[in-house]
Chains A and B, each alone.
Chain A
Amino acid sequence: DGGITQSPKYLFRKEGQNVTLSCEQNLNHDAMYWYRQDPGQGLRLIYYSQIVNDFQKGDIAEGYSVSREKKESFPLTVTSAQKNPTAFYLCASSIGQGVYNEQFFGPGTRLTVL
């Protein structure tokens, strides 16, 4: 089956801890994205990457970090600097540039800070 997997599905974090969310795709897509979804706010772009070893900040990158060492993997680290990390996190990928190509989304990770 081709697609995007995210793990874990649910994640609980204590304040002050860093956590890493996994995103893997076997679609051979070049571009990958991380979004944050909060109720009533739609999706907000955290980071995106068009090619291995390169990534750009999105609209709300503060308190987050990413890496893109392999084409199929784009992990997101939520650091202790992120003031309000409780949210639903979605990873997506697309062929080439996403501006005219549809994005394929993973099932999401729900992060809760205790």
Chain B
Amino acid sequence: QKEVEQNSGPLSVPEGAIASLNCTYSDRGSQSFFWYRQYSGKSPELIMFIYSNGDKEDGRFTAQLNKASQYVSLLIRDSQPSDSATYLCAVNRRIQGAQKLVFGQGTRLTINP
């Protein structure tokens, strides 16, 4: 079992709809969770992070965390063509006294006009 799992997609959503991206993780002790957006040929951009169970909203983005079920999700409301990108879920781990991110494989999202 991979430490962080995402559906690789592609996920296709019509413009204006809600895009729902899901991620599961295996380490029950994980505390910090991140969503990065990566456009083709560009570097990952941090768009959301969440540390507590429940929902966290920022503009059109909502991150949801359920530690009991070990999943974290990202909702994008009113999807726009500019949201088309690969979304990477990441979980923080402490190893050898340093913090590192463990990434999922990424979900490719396409918003259709």
- Say whether A and B bind each other: no
| Interface residues of A, Cβ cutoff 8 Å to B | none
